[in-house]
Amino acid sequence: MVFNSVQFLVFLPIVFLLYWLVFKPVKWQNVLIVVASYVFYGWWDWRFLGLIAFTSLCSYASGVMIEKHREKGKIFSAANIVLNLLILGFFKYFNFFTDSFAQAMNSLGWHCDAPTLNIVLPVGISFYTFQALSYSIDVYRKKLPASHSLIDVMAFISFFPQLVAGPIERATHLLPQFQHPRTFSPAKATDGMRQMLWGLFKKMIVADTCGMIVDRMWEDYASQSGFALMLTSTLFAFQIYADFSGYSDIAIGCARLFGFELTTNFKVPYFSRSIREYWRRWHITLMNWFTEYVYFPMGGSRGTKTKTIANTFIVFALSGLWHGANWTYVVWGLYNAMWFVPLIILNRGKYRDTVASGKKLPSLKEVGLMLINFAIAALGLTIFRAPSMAHFGNYMSTMLSKSLFNVGFGHEMKVALAYCALMLVVEWIYREKRFALDFGDSSTGIVKYRAVRWAIYIMLFVFTVLMSGLHSNFIYFQF
């Protein structure tokens, strides 16, 4: 089931009403969440419900055994980690690694036929696997006690708003929320609906409009002008941002309807002034996961700068591989790590504040830094979008030809760019808020009037429904 579907439009109100009006004790609310989450996930393919149930059972059992047998806790934690990674590796990387091994052997002159299997990749397996791993690791580290309620652990791992595309929640943050009573808050529910509305606009208007053009251009990029391909790379950067951050907005807003607070996953990354700041604002929960469970255990930045650079490359290579079984993802990860090298050596790019904080407009220097950073990110995302490195090379060769100066684009691109500009303007105005429609009670200007706020909500809703003719999946469903 996807957020931008009629099925979800029926599913959500039913679960919401049952949750607050019928299943009032917290333990029964958690049972309802598990059932609703399995219906939500099973709508895609019920055969994989057993897999997520098995992951939940193993994580629950590992937590109990770690707490019961502390002297053997490392063994139980490692067993759960290895088992979950083996499952993830089989479904996601079996064909990739066997094909890569066969190609390497053949390049050395040794004939090797790679065994291949017709494996269906379970939706969201990378997300819920990492979430499950965080539970057993944090129990082992004594950062939270093991849960003795299987239902609570199952609810934590399968919570439907963020099940298939995040945010990737740490057990220390989300699991305790399942263990305490929740009370309905009209203010939080309204807030959640605002964020869902903005997420739907980003997905159904910005991302899907850009996506139609990007897909068409990539299918026939050899016959396009360099300028058109440059715009295509720009549109894909906006597409993947609007698509993925749109999902995160809907997930966070949806969770708030049920009394839960999820972790912010995006903080206006295209307003970053360095690649370092960009990665503190883009897919925040994934990078926090790798930082906590990979980067810090390797030493992080506590050693020499050479060691810090090496650790950075390892983390980004793994994060690239996490995205999928394709060398383009690994190269994309290494490409991003490469831009960290001068920042680490010079100890630069550590922006902690929001750009132009407290001001209406940025300085010329800030504009220049944001444009440079966006260009770096967009080029990297072109690698991410390419089917192979050969395709990427051909794409760049065409883009950087003389036709790069053939300025011109059609009506569809103008419309898509206008949608992107609208999204950026709104997010710039509210860049220091949690999300773009975070008006709240302290709104100023004309937005402080309730009638104005409702006019904005209705306009966005009608515009999103009427202008969107697509019900496409979210890009990160494939990861």
Reference 63, options 53, 75, 51, 77; nearest CA is 77
What b/e readout covers 87-104, taking b as 16+ CB neighbours within 10 angstroms?
Answer: bbeebbbebeebeeebee
Reference 244, options 275, 265, 224, 218; nearest CA is 265
The residues near 353 (Cβ < 8 Å, ≥ 6 apart) are: none
Count the Cβ atoms, other than its own, within 10 Å of residue 379: 17
Q: What are the φ/ψ torsions at residue 421 (nearest 5 degrees)?
A: -65, -40
Strand spans (E) along 185-261: none
Count the Cβ atoms, other than its own, within 10 Å of residue 296: 13
The residues near 382 (Cβ < 8 Å, ≥ 6 apart) are: 233, 236, 392, 395, 396
| Cα–Cα distance, 423 to 107 (Å, whole number) | 48
The two structure tokens encoding residue 282 = 């883009």
Name the DSSP class of 475: G
The string of DSSP codes covering 295-317 is ITTTTTTSS-HHHHHHHHHHHHH
Contacts 24+ apart (CB under 8 A), 174-177: 174/260, 174/262, 175/135, 175/144, 175/147, 176/144, 177/259, 177/260, 177/261
205-209-212 Cα angle (round to 5): 150
In the three-class reduction of DSSP (H, G, I as helix; E, B as strand; rest coil), residue 150 is classed as helix
Q: What are the φ/ψ torsions at residue 187 (nearest 5 degrees)?
A: -65, -45
User: How many angstroms separate the first and last alpha carbons of the chain?
Assistant: 16
The one catalytic residue in 283, 323, 391, 411 is 323
The string of DSSP codes covering 29-95 is HHHHHHHHHHHHHHHHHGGGHHHHHHHHHHHHHHHHHHHH-GGGHHHHHHHHHHHHHHHHHHHHHHH
| Cα–Cα distance, 167 to 362 (Å, whole number) | 30
Reference 249, options 264, 237, 260; nearest CA is 264
How many helices (H) does the chain have, and how many strands (E)? 18, 0
Active site residue 323: yes
Hey, which residues are catalytic here?
323
